[in-house]
A and B are shown apart, each in its own frame.
Chain A
Amino acid sequence: MVCTLTRPLRGWPLALFQLDDEYDQNADPQALVEENRRLRKVCQALIERVESGSAANGAPYAAFEHAVLLAEQVRERTDALHRALDELNQVNAQLREAHAEAQAANQSKSKFLAAVSHDLLQPLNAARLFTSALETHALPQDAQPLVGRIGRSLKDVESLLGTLVDMSRLDAGVLQADKAPFSVDTLLDALAEEYRQVAGVRGLALHYVGSSVVVESDLSLLARIIRNFLSNAVRYTPQGRILLGCRRRPNGLEIMVADTGPGIAEQQRERIFQEFQRDALTSQQHSRGLGLGLAIVDRISTMLAHPVTLVSTPGQGACFSVTVPYGQHAPRLPGPVTARLETDFSRQVVWVIDDDPTILEGMQALLGQWGCRVRAAGTVTALEAASDGERPQVLLVDYQLGQRRENGLTLAKRLERRYPGLATVVITANHDAEISRQAREAGMHCLLKPLKPLRLRMLLTSLLAQ
């Protein structure tokens, strides 16, 4: 080994800044000279290093130092970024909280509205049944138009309330779609018939092109969409005609309602799907309605995932349409609405079970007027006691029979076992799709409150014809 040292290192401090006292005191001149030499070298090296700066002179060590510096800066910036992100997260959390509160408040409002509307529907239901019964009585000449007007007013209240219930249920998220395949004419035939008369009253012609295509949708929700289209068309078309028809599209069947009304200006098209929007001109002539129709269409179509389109040329009319996916199978139940109305109900035994005595009375009056042999009671025991061993043909049962009792569906199943062939109609004020689905699966029918006498009559006709 080549050694450039001329003096021994032993006993000398290795590192700087570690001079111990003993060494200092015993320092001989030679040692001090050596130390002085080393310190000069160290000083010289440090001076050179400092003066060269850490500028990027291409030296490898400078590159390393630069990388360390950069990494340190990145670390600092990352820390700062994390702090900023933390703050942002906090603000976001607060916003989420505020949003959740707002949503909860809105939901409770919707639920309140749903509950109130629901409670109002019950007595209204009874009132409708009574008026329908009253209409069939032989009344004094001047009383008849009055009864008719009461009936129509009640119907209006009912439809307004129905709209409110729908809206609040949609907003509260309690309304669930119950999709099933059905032939579209089971729905459209009835709607065409209904609105041909309504249009006729206002001097409008309704042109209907039927179709037997099977679609997959929630029949009653889809009906509400098309009803809204038709109501709007009738309401806003002063003269001319309305078309109800279908067109096959690649992604489904487009059901359209076109009119020859004033049309809708481009800038209004978004707005009319919001709540409480009615055309200013026409609203004066037709005070009924809350302007909720298209808002409901918007919500239902979103829920069903059925796209709604609007095509309109101002001055020449508008065409609203909804596109419904094609279905696979034929419907399991025959459409009750296609049945004829002129069936003779005489001597047909109909049982009614409801825990509300007013409803029982109302049903008794209505069904009695139609010629049915009605047995109405709150419980099966009471019913069987009153029925003298007759076999019932049709059972009308309320779904909600009080807190502690079995529901109407379970009760009906029990009765169906005892009376094979018994046709059951479950009646409920609960608009959940779940109940109608359960009823359908059990081979029963389901009607919603408020009960519409016409619909009940059509259903009974079809059930008793079988």
Chain B
Amino acid sequence: MFHPLDEQGAHEPGNGIITAVSSQRDAWRAVAELAARLYHPALGGVVFFCTAEYDLEALGQALSNSFAKVPICGCTTAGEITPSGYGRGCIVAIGFDGRVFSVVPALVDDLVGFDLPRAQQLVDSLLANCRPKAVAPLNENSFVMTLLDGLSSREEQVLATLDAALGRIPSFGGSAGDDNHLTHTHVFAEGAFHTQAAVMLMINTRLPFDVFSTHHLAPRTEKFVVTAADREQRRVRELNGVPAATLYAQWVGVAVEDLTPALFARYPLAVRLGDHYFVRSIQRANQDGSLSFYCAVENGIVLSAMRPLPLLADLENMLDEIKARVGPPALMIGCDCFLRRMELEALGQLESASALLRASQVVGFNTYGEQHHGMHVNQTFTGVAFGTLSAG
């Protein structure tokens, strides 16, 4: 077991947050680097986000060894957000001080059977495990972070059920990624990586916090009605009575063969519910002319064509709003849709965005979908911001 006392050790909790990042390709070395920085006697929990390129079995063992007795959970990503901005091929971790935070994770490994009674049981046990080590009133000063297998196609039901059980406790989260391979996404809890699973992490804290979500997209005039869909596969076969990929490609102005995630990012579709637009991101164009989505679709829903507004301006604006609410952030955990990152890369704005995230103490990861108050959304920047103890 490797845990030298960091100079920021257990003496002064401060705001109770330490972040660490390692680019070591070897799982054991990477975890040793994290532990050297994070471990101290008052450590109350660790959350990490890592590339799926790691030898996940070795990584899981290394994490379990180095952080024995500390609740630890995390997931694979489509890119990391490190303390210095966007990163790739690395592992980033947050250590929560048990004197400022009470962190309780739970694993849901049966997403299909996750019904309301089970959700209620899960929430009850989260609360019961959190209560003995709570550092602030449980109902007011707690939230839940969800990490879901991003290829499970179960996000909507799981989230809606969880949200009903959580009641007033806010929740947010992200769907695990795998660097755009769309093959295997993993969540980590109870000492191992899992697929077709979810991690629910209850965090109780003395710090002021604010759960947020933003996107930078505005509606255009075009409307596409889903006239044929396969809801189990999250596939739209037809839009406006025409093969979906064909119609979409024509709107974008390219051949069906040339459709790429970068174009999906620049030409998003959204459903409108009331006054709000919720982006439904396209995952890929299939051989049969259908479009696969990152979220639930249904026959008869109306998709509005959207256009991106300046992303950086929207991001900066939202970060300012958060600072106005919780003061200078001690840390923000960001679930940033990988399509946003793709757009920033295409526009050559990744560095500017990194600078904004760095200045606001954001760490997190690029997702295959975000979760906000029980809603599964796409192409957003969603997360939680912690203020400082003095500001609270």
Contacts and interface: CB of A to CB of B under 8 A. Distances in A.
B253 to A, nearest CB: 10
A68 B153 contact: no
Contacts of B299: 45, 48-49
Contacts of A45: 225-228, 299-300
B240 A38 contact: yes
A265 interface: no
A69 B160 CA distance: 11
A15 interface: yes
Nearest to B232: A60
Contacts of B372: 71
A15 B27 CA distance: 51
B328 interface: no
A64 B160 contact: yes
Nearest to A52: B300
Contacts of A48: 299-300
B298 A15 contact: no
Interface string B225-251: 111100100100010111100110011
Given A14-B251, A45-B299, A70-B374, A65 B273 contact: yes
Nearest to A39: B241
Interface in B132-167: 153-154, 156-157, 159-161, 163-164
B252 to A, nearest CB: 10
Contact of A41 (B238, B273, B376): B238
B163 A1 contact: no
A1 B287 contact: yes
Given A1-B289, A4-B243, A60 B153 contact: yes
A156 to B, nearest CB: 57
A18 B221 contact: yes
B246 A60 contact: no
B115 to A, nearest CB: 10
Contact of A61 (B224, B231, B256, B305): B231
Instruction: Name the prevailing secondary structure of the A interface residues.
Output: helix
B155 to A, nearest CB: 8
A9 B160 contact: no
A60 B160 CA distance: 9
Contacts of B247: 9, 14
Contact of B298 (A47, A62, A74): A62
Given A14-B251, A59-B231, A64 B153 contact: no
B215 to A, nearest CB: 14
B288 interface: yes
Interface in A1-39: 1-5, 9, 14-18, 37-39
B156 A15 contact: no
A194 interface: no
Contacts of A64: 156, 160, 278, 295-296, 375-376
Given A64-B160, A71-B375, A3 B228 contact: no
A58 B231 CA distance: 11
Given A49-B300, A65-B273, A5 B156 contact: no
A269 interface: no
A47 B376 CA distance: 25
Interface in A52-84: 52, 58-72, 74
B53 interface: no
A56 to B, nearest CB: 9
Given A60-B156, A66-B160, A71-B374, A42 B227 contact: yes
Interface in A63-120: 63-72, 74
A20 to B, nearest CB: 12
B308 to A, nearest CB: 18
A49 B227 CA distance: 10
Interface residues of A, number: 41
Contacts of B374: 67, 70-71
B222 interface: yes
B223 interface: yes
Interface in B258-273: 273
Given A5-B242, A18-B222, A49 B160 contact: no
B194 interface: no
Contacts of B243: 3-5
Contacts of A38: 227, 240-242
A200 B96 CA distance: 73
A38 B244 CA distance: 13
Most buried by B among A17, A38, A48, A52: A38
A16 B289 contact: no
A67 B298 contact: no
Contacts of A16: 223, 225, 240
A61 B297 contact: yes
A246 to B, nearest CB: 45
B40 interface: no
Contacts of B124: none
A50 interface: yes
A18 B222 CA distance: 8
A76 to B, nearest CB: 11
Contact of B276 (A2, A18, A68, A74): A68
Most buried by B among A1, A39, A64: A64
A74 B169 CA distance: 11
B99 interface: no
A180 B100 CA distance: 40
B233 to A, nearest CB: 11
Nearest to B164: A70
B316 interface: no
A455 B276 CA distance: 85
A70 B163 contact: yes
Given A42-B240, A71-B372, 15 more contacts: A1-B287, A14-B250, A17-B223, A18-B222, A37-B241, A59-B231, A60-B296, A61-B156, A63-B160, A63-B161, A67-B163, A67-B373, A68-B276, A68-B278, A69-B273
Interface of B: 153-154, 156-157, 159-161, 163-164, 221-228, 231, 234, 238, 240-243, 246-247, 250-251, 256-257, 273-274, 276, 278, 287-289, 295-301, 305, 372-376
Query: Sorted from nearest, which 9 A-B pairs have the closest CB atoms?
Result: A49-B300, A38-B241, A41-B241, A60-B296, A61-B298, A15-B222, A63-B160, A67-B374, A61-B296
12 contacts: A1-B287, A3-B246, A15-B224, A42-B240, A45-B225, A45-B228, A58-B157, A59-B298, A60-B153, A60-B296, A64-B296, A68-B273
